[in-house]
Amino acid sequence: MYFKEIILYGDRGLILDFGQQSSKSISQEVNAYYHHLKVLGLSSTNIVPSFNKIVISFYSEVDRKQSLNKIQQEISQINPSTTKQNQSTWTIPVCYEDSFALDMQRIQELHDLTKEEVIQLHSNTTYYTYYIGFMPGFPYLGDIHPSLITPRLESPRIQIPARSVGIAKEHTCIYPKVSPGGWNIIGQVPFNLFSLEHPRTSLFLPGDEIKFHAINQKEFERIQKKDLSIDSLIKEYAS
C-alpha cells in the first residue's frame, strides 16, 4: 500500500499522494484508486492520475469540501488488489524500418546494440500504460528493458511525425499526432490511436497492457491503407 494522504491543492483542487517513487505496482494502485474515484459521483471537473499522484479539480470550494468528505468515507474501502480495472491487452504492429526510426542509430551507438537487438528488446516486453498525458491520447508506457534506457534528445525535435514510437528514460510512447518533442524515435504505428468521434477517444487507457510486434514496410502500408476506426482496432488488436 503506497497511498499516503490527501492534500488540499489551491482552493479547488485535491492531491492524492502515493509517495515520491514511480513503479508499475505504485501505478497499479494509483489506477485502482482512480477507477474508484471515477464512480463515486464526485462533483469534480477532472480526475487526473499520473505516476504517483491523482489530482482532482472541482467547480467550487464547496464542491471540494463535500467531495473530500465523501472520499474520506470511501477511501478505506478501496482495496487495490481486488479492484477490477477493466484493462485491455493490446498487440500493436510497429514498423522499425529506417524511414520511421529517426533515432535508431543514436540508440544503437549509445548502447552498442545491433538494430535487430534494439527491435528485439523493444518488442519483447509487455508494457504497462501508466497514464495518458502531455498531449491528447499520449500514453506513457513502461518499463522498457534496462539496456534501452536512453535520455531524451538534448534539443527536442520541432516536428515528430504522427504515430511515431519513442523511448525516453525508462518509458516508451506513441505520439498520437504531429508534435514537437524530445523522445528518441524508433518506429511508427500504421494507424491512429486517437479519435474525437469515438466515445473512448484514446485507444489506450491507464492500466492497459501493450505488446509491440515488428512489421515490414509492405505490411505497414497494407494496414495503413485500411484506415481502421477505433472500433475495428479494438476488434483486431485487443484481447
Partner 1 sequence: MNTFTITRTGTYLTVQDFGRYHYQHLGISPSGAMDPRILKELEKVIPQHANQFLEFAYVGPSLKVSAGAIRVCVGGDCNIFVQKNNNTQIEHQPYTSINLFEGDELTVYNTIDSVFGYIAIENGLGLEPCLNSFATDTKANIGSINRPLQIGDTFNIKEDVSSWKVVFNETVNIEKQNNFKVYPGPQLNYFSDLALQSFVSSTYTITTQSDRMGLRLQGAPLISHISHDILSEGILPGCIQVPSNGQPIVLMRDIPCTGGYPKIAILASEDIAKIAQLPPGSHINFDL
The residue ranges that bind partner 1 (CB under 8 A) are 7-13, 15, 20, 22, 34, 45-55, 57, 131-138, 140, 177, 196, 201-202, 206
Q: Give 135 or 217: the residue with its C-beta nearer to partner 1.
A: 135
Q: Give 55 or 223: the residue with its C-beta nearer to partner 1.
A: 55
Q: Give 9 or 106: the residue with its C-beta nearer to partner 1.
A: 9
CB atoms within 10 A of CB 183: 26
Q: Give 50 or 96: the residue with its C-beta nearer to partner 1.
A: 50
3-state SS class at 49: strand
- Determine the distance from the C-alpha atom of residue 161 to the mean position of all C-alpha atoms in its chain, rounded to a whole number: 18
Cite the DSSP H helix spans in the chain: 24-38, 61-74, 104-111, 115-123, 217-226, 230-237
> Cell for 235?
476488434
Q: Are 139 and 132 in contact (CB under 8 A)?
A: yes
Give helix then strand counts, H and E, for the chain: 6, 13
Q: How far is the CB of 12 from partner 1 (least distance, A)?
A: 5
Q: How far is the CB of 50 from partner 1 (least distance, A)?
A: 5
Q: Give 96 or 183: the residue with its C-beta nearer to partner 1.
A: 183
Q: How far is the CB of 131 from partner 1 (least distance, A)?
A: 7
Among the listed residues 34, 53, 52, the one whose alpha carbon sits nearest the alpha carbon of residue 44: 34
Q: How far is the CB of 179 from partner 1 (least distance, A)?
A: 9
Residues with Cβ within 8 Å of 69's Cβ and at least 6 positions away in sequence, in order, are none
Q: How far is the CB of 7 from partner 1 (least distance, A)?
A: 7
